[in-house]
Amino acid sequence: MILCIDSGNTRIKWGLRDGERWLSEGALLQAEIGELGERLKELPAPDRIMVANVAGAKAAAAINKAFSGWLRRLRFVQSAAEGGGVVNGYGEPASLGVDRWCALVGARQRVDTDCLVVGAGTATTIDALSADGHFLGGLILPGFDLMRQSLARHTAGLPLARGRHEAFPRCTDDAIFSGCLEAQVGAIGRAFARIAAHPGALCLLFGGAAPLLAQHLDLPFRQADTLVLDGLFHLAGDDPG
């Protein structure tokens, strides 16, 4: 069994999987990462622990502490030039965020068509993957919540909007909510237009804001909530350790 851990900027997610299916899944906030070991102590001992960490050295130290008895089984994954059926198109492959790398590998296991891999988290990432497994490049923009928070923090009179989407909003909360949402959906739509002519082109969507964005996308998509974990699991098979 493989324990996969996706340590993001806001949350840390995990899944325990055998060769067929996810046996257990869970999540907690990064602020609660000290509880990770306690949360997972009831799980069966995994053969390998695969980690994608983008939350920095403090989170890495907490993960090492949580698995102090299993350090030989623990691997912090790094982005590579090639792996899991994906060729990394970055000029410096190791500089690609490891969560994006794992999501691309996870996407490759699900589809064999041109696709967009969209992570709707603290940041929104929009990555293009060709039908033959080449990562073509991608976009990064502030996520939906981060956009709202930025307006509240850096302007004198705008609130942390808790409005709703309207085509032509007539109050400030709705105007902010709608503007931030349409910026997200618009960026995804523009990127998808670049691959839309390819047969079977598809968007794979995951992350905390995925359910919200999914309500407003006007293009072929699937929600794929475990995409980073799927990639970690597949990369475990490529790991000689």
The catalytic site residues sit at 99
Burial zone of 142 (CB within 10 Å; 0-12 exposed, 13-18 middle, 19+ buried):
middle
Reported as half-sphere exposure (CB side, CA atoms, 13 A), residue 165 has a value of 11
CB contact burial 180-195 (16+ within 10 A = b; e otherwise): bbeebbebbbebbeeb
User: How many other β-carbons are positioned within 10 Å of the β-carbon of residue 72?
Assistant: 10
Extended beta strands in 109-187, E state: 115-120, 123-129, 135-142
3-state SS class at 51 = strand
Q: Do 117 and 204 form a contact (C-beta atoms < 8 A)?
A: yes
CA pair distance 202, 157, nearest whole angstrom: 40
CA pair distance 102, 105, nearest whole angstrom: 5
- Give the 3-state secondary structure percentages of the chain, helix then strand then coil, rounded to 5: 40, 25, 35
